[in-house]
Amino acid sequence: MDKPTVTTELSRDLNLFHLTMMGLGMMIGAGVFLGIGNAIRIAGPGGVLLTFALNTLLALFTAMSYAELSSAIPRAGGAYNFARIGFGRGTSFLAGWMEWFASSVAGSMYAITFAIYTVRYLEQLGALSWLALPTLLVKPVAVLIALFFLYINYRGASETGKTGAIMTAGQTLFLIVIGVVGVAVAIRDPSRLQNFRPFLPFGWSRLFITMGFTYVAFEGFEVIAQAGDEAVEPKKNLPKAMLFSVYIVGLTYVAVAFATVVAVKAGSSGVSGEPWQWIGSFRERGFGEAVARLIPFGNFLLTLAVIFASTSALNATVYSATRASYALGRDRMLPRLFARISKRRKTPWFALLATGFIVLLVATVLPTMDVASSASLMFLFLFFLVNLCVIKIRLNMSDELQYGYLTPLFPIVPLLAISVQVVLAAELRHMSLIALIVAPVWILAGILIYYFYSRSRALPAESEIHVIEEEAAPEGDEYRIMVPVANPENALSLVWNTHKIGRSRPSRIKLLHMVPVPDQVALSDAETYMTEGREGIVEAMLYLVQRFPVTTTFRYCRNIARGITSAVRERKIDLLIMGWHGKSGDRRFRIGSTLDPVISRAPCDIVILKDCGNKSFSNILVPLFGDANDVFALDSAERMIQEQNGEITAMQVRGAARRQRGIWSEERYLERLLRRLEYQPVKVRLKASPRMDPVRAVLRESKHYDLVVLGLSGSFLRQVGVPTVAEQIARHCPTPLVLAKASVGLSALAKKWI
């Protein structure tokens, strides 16, 4: 057996202040220094303000998704971890792969920003008069500063956090000063406000372009998510740091953009045409040229601001990219070298080395705006995936996780973010064709690496569903029924009634056993807990195999309900049949800890059997609630009834359901239901419930029947406070009971895809 590679853990040294400063440090940088001049040139003076204001709102939406997921899954890896839990190995590898590249490219951009403004300042001082083309120094200076911060990151998280906090505090102070001076100048000289006319000279459409290539300036919450293994009180501090950083950076960006536009006075020396056009003509250097005219010693102060901003951002992006590749190595998605941790520094040294290679390569090869556009495009892809993850994980796993923060207005906020991010990614084609080539090539390389290397080597995760043993079912058009068998005691009862339900049509049955392994037991030992389940499966097969094609599957998942729901979705099951003991042992659940989430999430019809045993039924009561489940309840009753000599009583439950367009109390409603059944049922008679409490009415009537088939309304398990009518009947019914839940409507479509 191979010896474990990772023998030490990352150290927890980052508090709320460090985390917030890391987020700010990653955001306040090239977005201002490279983005403002180009944004003014493309969208106009008002466009630059709206660009940063709207990007702040969009970033806040995605930061909320990151905050929710980080509070529930505080581990190094960020989006990689979220995708691993939400979508599985393949998608998670791609998320980590994109996250690694996006942060590395962003680091290259910040190194170039530092170099551009440093060389510009030295040139203005005359220190580079000996050099014919001073711009030739930009790439070497970028390499030197990148190497320096690679060394800082090697020294450890504490050193990285402290250095980043100092740099970020300095850069934020300088930018706030610029914003305040800009407001003061506009108050003292209101004519400067004329610089905003026309406000949007090119219309609204160009905002999507400028928002796209400056969005890289709002990715700071991503580096905070990477600090899950090194943060103090991560469930509380990670969400706070993410939201604080977006609020601060958004206000700072808008203030600085305003100051840039009013910094240049119309008609002043060297300014031809409109001031905003003059600023935009300098492209990525436009911000520097404007600020140099705004405040005394503008060039000197600007150079200091650039040094603080770009280096703190470089520091944070190197940290983030290193943790992303470390997480891939930790789970063997990449070679285990990436998970090697320095015993002295407690930093992932090989992941840092690989990250440094990408940073230096991109900084020396790609043009400046192509670097910025490539980083923005990768982050847009990444944030799109994270917003999908927050929706899927909340819907499918909220009962398994402990959240420190929940996104408000869920799922509206992540859906809005997804919609806008798609538009921004498409609009980046106007800024850089190279970015549209580099990003897909990197993603394609990741797909190939996953299929030829990572897929067969990845370590199992605690959240994954593991197939221990499975018989493959042949393709066919049969009605697919799945029966989870927990133990031999209820196996015969389930299969007896499964035979009744499946006999009316060509059916194929999948017997499922979710292996119950205690949390403290390793995943590799799951097979030793299969014995009892195998006995139940064998008993079920002996009865069913003579009547239906039957296949089996043994699976393991820490959460049984999620394992069942996943199997249903994966095998495209039409009907799920489960047993119920008749009560919930936990007040948090309406029916049970397994049944509640299965009812809410399984994308198929569901039949739940209570006390049905190996009995024959000839007199069945079906309460009608006036919703889509009435048809399925009648259909289930027909399947359960003894052939040819049974009777079904359909009882309208007064006051328990919606009116059916004024015909609720008439026989036409029942006739309409019967026409929707797949085949002609046995005799059905209609009966109105007495004028009393509907729960009492159904419970009293149920005593005269040998089976009650109860449709579960769409609101079942969703109401808070007073139990629903259907729930109360189900809990207290003394007669054998079948609960029938139809998969219909938009919610059913959503369950199939999410």
Tens of pLDDT along 612-622? 888 889 899 99
Question: Which regions of 154-284 does DSSP assign to beta strands (E)?
Answer: none
Residue that the structure tokens 């700071």 belong to = 220
- Same-domain pairing of 417 and 344: yes
Mean pLDDT in residue range 609-614: 87
CA distance 169 to 156: 20
pLDDT at 530 over 80: no
Number of structural domains (the chain) is: 3
CB-based burial label for 199 (10 Å; 0-12, 13-18, 19+): exposed
CA distance 682 to 163: 79
Q: Which of 429, 457, 485 marks a domain boundary?
A: 457
**Is residue 8 included in any domain, yes or no?**
no
- Same-domain pairing of 697 and 596: no
Q: What pairs with residue 448 in β-bridges? A: none
Query: 3-state class of 687 per DSSP?
Result: strand
Query: Tokens in use for 133?
Result: 């083309």
Cα Rg of the chain, angstroms: 32
CATH number of residue 291's parent domain: 1.20.1740.10
**Is residue 279 included in any domain, yes or no?**
yes
Q: What's the CA angle centered on 229, arms 227 and 231, to 5 degrees?
A: 60
- Candidate from 79-93, 186-200, 213-227 with smallest mean pLDDT: 213-227
- Same-domain pairing of 582 and 620: no
With the C-alpha atoms ordered 527, 530, 534, 537, is the resulting torsion angle positive or negative? negative
Structural domain for 489, as ranges = 465-613
- Same-domain pairing of 606 and 622: no
What confidence score (pLDDT) does residue 468 get? 78
Cα distances (Å, whole numbers) of residue 648 to 575, 640, 664, 705: 22, 10, 19, 10
- Candidate from 385-389, 444-448, 563-567 with smallest mean pLDDT: 563-567
Residue that the structure tokens 């005359």 belong to = 126
Query: Tokens in use for 52?
Result: 């940063």
Which residue, among 85, 84, 89, has the nearest Cα to 401 in the 3D structure? 85
Cβ contact 496:371 at 8 Å: no
**Is residue 10 included in any domain, yes or no?**
no
- Same-domain pairing of 244 and 144: yes
- Same-domain pairing of 601 and 657: no
pLDDT category at 163 given cuts 50, 70, 90 is low
- Same-domain pairing of 130 and 182: yes
Mean pLDDT in residue range 5-19: 65
Q: Which of 400, 424, 457 marks a domain boundary?
A: 457
Tens of pLDDT along 54-78? 999 999 999 999 999 999 988 777 8
Per-residue HEC secondary structure of 340-402 comes to: CCCCCCCCCHHHHHHHHHHHHHHHHHCCHHHHHHHHHHHHHHHHHHHHHHHHHHHHHHCCCCC
The identity of residue 629, as a single letter, is N
**Is residue 754 included in any domain, yes or no?**
no
- Phi/psi for 365 (5° steps) reads -105, -45
- Same-domain pairing of 436 and 308: yes
**Is residue 749 included in any domain, yes or no?**
no
- Same-domain pairing of 85 and 192: yes
Tens of pLDDT along 722-736? 567 888 888 889 899
- Same-domain pairing of 332 and 294: yes
HSE-CB of 734 using CA atoms within 13 angstroms: 8
**Is residue 150 included in any domain, yes or no?**
yes
- Same-domain pairing of 598 and 622: no
- Same-domain pairing of 452 and 487: no
**Is residue 685 included in any domain, yes or no?**
yes
With the C-alpha atoms ordered 595, 600, 602, 605, is the resulting torsion angle positive or negative? positive
pTM for the full predicted model:
0.76
CATH number of residue 688's parent domain: 3.40.50.620
Tens of pLDDT along 561-583? 888 998 998 888 999 999 888 76
Q: Which of 457, 491, 513 marks a domain boundary?
A: 457
**Is residue 120 included in any domain, yes or no?**
yes
